[in-house]
Amino acid sequence: MKKKYFMQKLKGKDLFTELEIENLKNLIKKRIVSTKNQQKHIREQMRNIGFYGRDDWGIYDLQLSNFEELLINKKIQIKK
């Protein structure tokens, strides 16, 4: 029996402006050194931009290197 593969619909988006990418990078850096309470607010800001690390990419404890990897592998792209 042949398996059928379906593209998972993203909760957020995978195409961002350069400004959104820079904002996300800054939020990731800020989140890393923040308290758990502050991190909740930062994650909310990231979701408002359209980035859902865990839901869309399966990333827990998002680091800047994880985000850069998504860019390098073209899983998320910069709108030109």
| pLDDT tens profile 23-50 | 999 999 999 999 999 999 999 999 999 9
Give the pLDDT score at 7.
57
Does the residue 44 lie in any domain?
Answer: yes
What is the 3-state composition of the chain as percent helix, strand, coil, each rounded to the nearest 5?
55, 5, 40
**pLDDT-based confidence at 8, cuts 50/70/90?**
confident
User: What is the residue whose two structure tokens read 């890393």?
Assistant: 32
Closest CA to 45 of 15, 61, 63, 24: 24
- For residue 19, the enclosing domain spans 15-78
Q: What percent of the chain has pLDDT over 90?
A: 88
**pLDDT-based confidence at 80, cuts 50/70/90?**
confident
The domain total for the chain is 1
Phi-psi bin for 74: left (phi > 0), alpha (psi -120 to 50), beta? left
Q: Is the C-alpha dihedral spanning 37, 19, 50, 64 positive or negative?
A: negative
Q: Is the pLDDT of residue 1 over 60?
A: no
Does the residue 6 lie in any domain?
Answer: no
Q: Tell me the pTM.
A: 0.87
